[in-house]
A and B are shown apart, each in its own frame.
Chain A
Amino acid sequence: MDDRNVGQLPMDDRVILRVGTKILIPFILLFALYVQFHGDFGPGGGFQAGVIFAAAFVLYALVFGLDQALKAMPMKVAVLCGAMGVVIYVGVGFLAMAMGGEFLNYSVLVYDPVKGQHYGIIGIEVGVLVTVFGVMLSLFYAFAGRRRIDP
């Protein structure tokens, strides 16, 4: 077990695992989006959805190897997502300021304060999703990309 690297373990001969993973991943991504947009009505929200979205790519990396996962979702994109989510969140706040309200006061975003609250919350939840997804995935890449220090 010692000489194996979690991120770079090739599983070319494990057909059931590879096919099963390929079938599962779209459903994991879809479930993440469900958790994201159903967060207004039930448990869930940006944070949980971001983690689940990242988990799909982590699963892909574990089964098909880190190189394949980096092709599908490069490190740069993951890090950029981690930063862009904060920008989206703060952007919603400044948008509210530009529309004449206070920072993060969603009531002024559209004509109806109640609708504005709803849209504002959807906006910031997207920001949380993007940040958490990017951070979780780049953390995984950072850990999995390292080799053993002592042979």
Chain B
Amino acid sequence: MDWIGAVTMVLFVVLAVTGVAVIRTRNLFGAVMLAGIYSLVSAVLFVVMDAVDVAFTEAAVGAGISTVLLLGTLSIVGYKEKKPEHQPILPFFVVLVTGGILIYGTSDIPPFGEALNPAHQHEMVSRYYLDRSYDDSHIPNVVTTVLGSYRGYDTMGETVVVFAAMVGVLLLLVKGPLPKRVHYHGRWHKVPPGTTRDELLAELRAKDGNAGGSNG
């Protein structure tokens, strides 16, 4: 085994240990930190595999922004995980079988980094990109030309997906402006312009009298 193989093995062991630790711990703060470490180790693995662009993204998004977002979530839901009510025997069995099938499936995959692999031999795609990239655009980084130019439609779709993610989260988490009228305990009420959410709620409860007794 050469030294790159040895480094890869060590990193994979660390990755597996971190993954198991994330599952085992009941302290969610620790779990978030371990997830960050998991992302950093994956980033190093990507560097070893010569995928520096992917490593960059993993380190920035996985270890950076995701950790902060998860910490923000923890500040809402608390730092302790409740004990599960059931022993998860069946899910464990399903995971074992699925994992076994996946590992069996990898035995058919061509060896990593082999020059004669089909992915590197495709006349119309891989060879074309590698041969023509510099002449087409004078950009030395093939990843950039593939992402931006040859696969520009894909990247446009990805940008739209990122945008759609923002729209979804904002719709779920952020309170927008109040509507013109609201439905409360079986009746429609007009909302005067300029009222805040709390004022509106107090007013509705006052109007409602006995029915709005519970602080729902």
Chain A contact residues, CB within 8 Å of chain B: 1-2, 4-7, 35, 39-45, 47-48, 51-52, 54-55, 58, 62, 75, 79, 82-83, 85-86, 89-90, 93, 104, 106, 113-115, 117-118, 120-121, 124-125, 127-128, 131-132, 134-136, 138-140, 142-149
Contacts and interface: CB of A to CB of B under 8 A. Distances in A.
B117 interface: no
Interface string B143-164: 1110111001101100110110
A131 B137 contact: no
Contact of B141 (A41, A54, A131): A41
A108 to B, nearest CB: 13
B173 A2 contact: no
Interface in B52-85: 52-53, 55-57, 60-61, 64-65, 68-69, 71-79
A4 B147 contact: no
Contacts of A134: 166
Contacts of B156: 89-90, 93, 104, 124
Closest 3 CB pairs of A and B: A117-B137, A143-B72, A121-B148
Interface of B: 29, 52-53, 55-57, 60-61, 64-65, 68-69, 71-79, 135-141, 143-145, 147-149, 152-153, 155-156, 159-160, 162-163, 165-166, 169-170, 173-174
Main secondary structure of the interface of A (DSSP, over half): helix
A43 B53 contact: yes
A40 B147 contact: no
A142 B170 contact: yes
Main secondary structure of the interface of B (DSSP, over half): helix
29 contacts: A1-B79, A6-B68, A6-B71, A6-B72, A7-B75, A40-B141, A42-B52, A43-B53, A45-B147, A54-B65, A89-B159, A90-B156, A93-B152, A104-B152, A104-B156, A118-B138, A118-B139, A120-B148, A121-B145, A121-B148, A121-B149, A124-B152, A124-B156, A136-B65, A140-B72, A142-B174, A145-B174, A146-B72, A148-B78
Contacts of A106: 149, 152
Contact of B60 (A52, A82, A138): A52
A64 to B, nearest CB: 15
A148 B57 CA distance: 31
A120 B72 contact: no
A84 B66 CA distance: 23
A142 B73 CA distance: 10
A82 B57 contact: no
Contacts of B77: 149
Contact of B68 (A2, A52, A58, A79): A58
Given A139-B69, A139-B166, 10 more contacts: A51-B61, A62-B68, A85-B163, A86-B160, A89-B159, A106-B149, A117-B139, A135-B163, A135-B166, A143-B72
